[in-house]
Amino acid sequence: MSEHLPQRFKDWFSRQGWSPRPHQLAMLEAAQQGKSTLLIAPTGGGKTLAGFLPSLIELAHGTYSGLHTLYVSPLKALSTNIAQSLARPIADMQLPVRAEVRSGDTSGARRKRQQKNPPHILLTTPESLALLLSYPDAAQYFSKLRVVIIDEVHALAGTKRGDQLALCARRLQQFSPLLRVSGLSATVAHPSAMAAWVSPTGKASGVRLIKAEATVRPDVHVLLPDKQGYLPWAGRMGLGSATAILTEIARANLTIVFVNSRAQAELLFQALWKQNGDNLPIGLHHGSLEAAHRAKVEEAMAQGTLRAVVATSSLDLGLDWGAVDQIIQVGAPKQISRLTQRIGRANHRMDEPSRALLAPANRFEVLECEAARKAVVKHELDGEPPRAGALDVLAQHVMVTACSGPFSPDALYKEIKLCAPYSQLTRMDFDKVIQFVEDGGYALQAYERHQRLVRDTTGHLCVRTERIIRQFRMNIGTIVDTPMLRVKSRRGKTFGEIDEYFASMLVPGDTFFLGGELLEFLGLHETTVQAARGHGKDPRVPVYGGNQLSISPGLARHVREILHDPSKWGVLPKSVQEWLALQAKRSRLPAPEKLLVETFPHKGWHYIVAYPFEGRNAHQTLGLLLTKMLEETGKGPLGFVANDYMIACWCVHPTGSMAELFSQDLMKSNLTDWLSESAMLRRTFRDVAIIAGLIERNYPGREKNRRQMTVSSDLLYDVLRKYDPEHILLQATWRQAQEGLTDLKRLSDMLDRIQGQIDHVDLSHVSPLAVPVLLEQGKEKIRGGEGEDYLLAEADKLYALAEKA
């Protein structure tokens, strides 16, 4: 097969002491046949080189001028990293190739130069690509483009950023019809869905699937805390494992300690340093830290001066950070595929086993770690196939298209149907989206003069004014973050960022952790948080936005299998075995195909605890439905709390029949109404409204004290629901919630399955298995309505008393 490789490249490979891998040659062959490809390979498989090799060979002659290859990755940092590693073969072989990065950080001067004199290879992100496509010269700029390389396809497909990128890729194809697309992906559970996602036709048949399988089984162990493996009832931070983690760090050259949240990263980092007697150099890496801080940590990793880094998903993706010997996952693994990818970070050579340790933070997590360990070693994978494309992203794309020049809706519809996420899009929904972009698409139509788009006599649409275009360009992108505020010292040193909501809860004197430092909040100065190094106890931990990942159905099934079968408990620590035995004695173990529901009095309230094992999101939705049912039947529910395994609600009055409560009617009744009222749907609507361009992004500092002048998305949501319930953005919100946030499908499947299978145990006090959920943080209270009025009345009474006194 290596006949496809020119001599110059063969020599280069042998000078490196490498021989081209079969998948690299297969990619080359496909390229020479003009085929689009999807390469699925584990980390460390020379994926990037395989992606670029065909382009480098085509460009080696030096006869090509103009933009040849566009590389898109989900991370700016990844593009920069790849540009650096591309520089090596280019320099070694003296290839006449110019490769440059373009991202939000690229200077204006450089952008102008890139516009005038494009590099051969441009490395960018989905957002920067969308911006490029919004300029009038886009068609001309991309007219000679031959290749689009999409890296980390598994991290993009099925997300809004992925939807945007898929739409942009089809746009590029219009400009350059012979374009081929190369997707690079980690091992995934649904390769053909992933291939369709990459495909220029929207069908898997349009791409050649090339796989490089992992040959070696990873070496995975469960790491128990000190104190003879005693595991706490609850908690997700895993701080009790600090000593055990340090011991393991000391044994290896470089370890990545993966955690599940930024807060956990901060706390664990503190806990490790408290006991770090040998002063092992340990760093911290997460998305809220200053870019400069992160860059320093990354460099230190590459140079081998660090022994360990505590990281969130910020280090999940394929950057090449030197020789990682092992990873330690602290806290619940949640998903088999994600864990496999994290373990892959410790796999700089494909033919050696990756080493990984799983450190559970509580008793339930021991079961989860044990289940995940088995699944990973068996090369099992989980994860859903990519969902249908989001309508808010489509609205943004319509606007991107309109900004670059007049377009025909018919032609655009055809183009979009070639995009796998939108291949099922109906013309009706498409037209509604166009209508929304054009004039808002409201049933109540007002003021025709002020539309966003205007139609010419040939039926083409274009943007009405240059001002609207400029305004829109500032809002391109599908990432909606809670506004973040910069944290600075009085002298102007930046510590990092915290989210606006968290900042608003602080009072001067409060302390919190950021970037591994204990800071004292001094005050809010316009849009900067002023802080100084602090002392003191009980620091608050920044709660960052973002949804928590739910346990995957596959992993949850494995957990249940261990749980209900005492013969499988042998691998568990003694304290966990005793806990489960006690549960079997006092109450019951959750049986397969049944739903265990316990009721008991506790602290003056009546509790219901159910064990569906369907993940936190589905349980949250179940909580909303249960409390609504309980309210309607006069049980006086006060709140609920859910984790990945179970849910607890508490009421003022005894709770009645469980079989009735968990009946299928739960799903049928007023589900839509109930959920529409929920905070979850409101949050979803906010994101949809921003991405679709209904409201502008809130850039901190831009509007300063004009907060009372901006319309909150909550108010818009209420008005829209009342006056225009069929509006396309409400549909978009509902679809999105159904797919992700509420996990409705998972919940309704479960309710179907357990009809007549309710295993109800009425207890006199709390059961051993229920203890963890009662200690869980993040209780949802019943908002609005009688509950809050009751609280307000309480406050009122207090003032009445105070006034009398």
Partner 1 sequence: MKFREVILAGQHLWLLPGGAVFLPEVGTLVVADLHLGKGTSARSRGVLLPPGDTMETLEKLSKLLDSYAPQHLIALGDSFHDGQAGDRFLDDEKSRLEAITCAVSTVWVAGNHDTLPVSGLSGSWVEECLLGNLILRHIPSAAIPSGKGEVAGHLHPKIRMRIKGHAISRPCFMIGPDRMILPAFGAYTGGLSTVSQAFGDLFSRPPSIYVWGADQIFRVE
Point out which residues bind partner 1 (CB under 8 A): 436, 439-440, 442, 444-447, 450, 452, 464-465, 467-468, 471-472, 504, 694-696, 707-712, 715-716, 718-720, 722-724, 727, 781, 785-786, 788-789, 791-796, 799-800
Least distance (Å) from partner 1 to the CB of residue 436?
8
Residue type, 718: D
Residue 15: other Cβ atoms inside 10 A: 10
Is 674 exposed, middle or buried, given 0-12, 13-18 or 19+ CB atoms closer than 10 A? Answer: middle
CB 324 within 8 A of CB 346: yes
DSSP 407: B
Identify which of residues 304 and 634 has a Cβ nearer to partner 1 in the complex: 634
Q: Which residue's entry shows tokens 């149907």?
A: 417
**Beta bridge partners of residue 630, listed in sequence order:** none
- State in angstroms the smallest separation of the CB of 789 from partner 1: 4
- In order of 78, 183, 324, 621, 636, the CA distances from 315 in angstroms are 10, 20, 12, 31, 46
Nearer to partner 1, 436 or 611 (CB): 436
Q: Please say which residue, 570 or 784, places its beta carbon nearer to partner 1.
A: 784
Cβ 722 to partner 1 shortest distance, Å = 6
The H-assigned helical ranges of 536-657 are 553-563, 574-586, 616-632
CB of 340 to partner 1, least distance (A): 39
Minimum Å gap between C-beta 465 and partner 1 is 8
For residues 127-155, one letter each, b for 16 or more C-beta atoms within 10 angstroms of the residue's C-beta and e for the rest, the string is bbbbbbbbbeebbebbeebbbbbbbbbbb
Q: How far is the CB of 522 from partner 1 (least distance, A)?
A: 16
Which CB sits closer to partner 1, 428 or 444? 444
Closest CB to partner 1 among residues 17, 784: 784
- Give the burial class of 541: count Cβ atoms within 10 A of its Cβ; 0-12 exposed, 13-18 middle, 19 or more buried: middle
* Min separation Cβ 401 and partner 1, Å: 15
Q: What is the 3-state secondary structure (H, E, C) of 497-517?
A: EEEHHHHHCCCCCCEEEECCE
CB-wise, 27 or 720, nearer to partner 1?
720
CA distances from 104 to 83, 111, 126, 128 (A): 16, 10, 11, 7
Work out the end-to-end distance of the chain between its first and last CA atoms, rounded to an integer number of angstroms: 93
Give whichever of 226 and 796 is closer to partner 1, judged by the CB atom.
Answer: 796
Q: How far is the CB of 675 from partner 1 (least distance, A)?
A: 20
Residue entry with tokens 């950021």: 514
The CA–CA distances, whole Å, from 3 to 6, 98, 373 equal: 7, 26, 42
CB 627 to partner 1: min, Å: 14
Task: Give the DSSP H/E element, type plus range, for residue 597.
Answer: strand 595-602
- Closer residue to partner 1, CB minimum distance, 297 or 689: 689
Mode of pairing for the β-strands spanning 308-311 and 282-285 = parallel
* Residue 756 CB neighbour total at 10 angstroms: 7
Q: Angle formed by the axes of helices 616-632 and 744-753, to 10°?
A: 70
- Give the nearer residue to partner 1 in terms of CB position, either 116 or 707: 707
- Residue whose C-alpha is closest to residue 89's, from 125, 116, 59, 66: 59
Measured from the CB atom, the residue of 201 and 435 that comes closer to partner 1 is 435
CB 569 to partner 1: min, Å:
38
Q: Which two tokens stand for residue 769?
A: 């298995």
The CB-of-371 to partner 1 minimum distance in angstroms stands at 35
Q: By C-beta, is 428 or 443 nearer to partner 1? A: 443
CB of 795 to partner 1, least distance (A): 5
**CB 133 to partner 1: min, Å:** 19
Report the residue number, 34 or 725, with the smaller CB distance to partner 1.
Answer: 725
Residues 6+ apart with CB under 8 A from 183: 37, 38, 39, 150, 153, 194, 195, 197, 198, 207
- Token pair for 416: 């979009």
Q: Indicate the residue among 3 and 526 with the shorter CB distance to partner 1.
A: 526
| CB 450 to partner 1: min, Å | 4
Considering beta carbons, is residue 467 or 668 the nearer one to partner 1?
Answer: 467
Helix (H, G, I), strand (E, B) or coil at 539: coil
CB of 50 within 8 A of CB of 33?
no
